[in-house]
Amino acid sequence: MKALDDFRFQRRMPTPAAAVREVLRRGLASDGFFRASDGARSREFGVLKDDSGSLARSRTRLSPA
């Protein structure tokens, strides 16, 4: 948490959530993940691979506890 807070304050980010999004964006970009094009829906891309090795396109709904 301290590292994330330091990152956030050095870049004058408004919220911890903004810092998390930026860290994730940078990490995914450095690993070669593509960015969604304008107008793309979230169901059209993913970051988790399924059993076949392709990007997962469906979501699993969790039942309420």
* pLDDT, tens digit (0-9, with 9 covering 90-100), for 22-52: 998 888 777 666 666 667 676 666 556 666 6
Q: Which residue has the tokens 């810092």?
A: 19
CA–CA separation, 62 vs 8, rounded Å?
A: 32
Higher pLDDT pick, 31 / 3:
3
- Considering the chain, what is the average pLDDT of its residues? 74
CA 38 to chain centre: 17
Strands (E) located in 1-65: none
Q: For the whole model, what pTM was predicted?
A: 0.48
**Cα–Cα separations (whole angstroms), residue 11 to 4, 20, 62:** 11, 12, 36
User: Which uninterrupted H or E stretch holds 27?
Assistant: helix 16-30
Give me the residue spans of the domains in the chain: 1-30
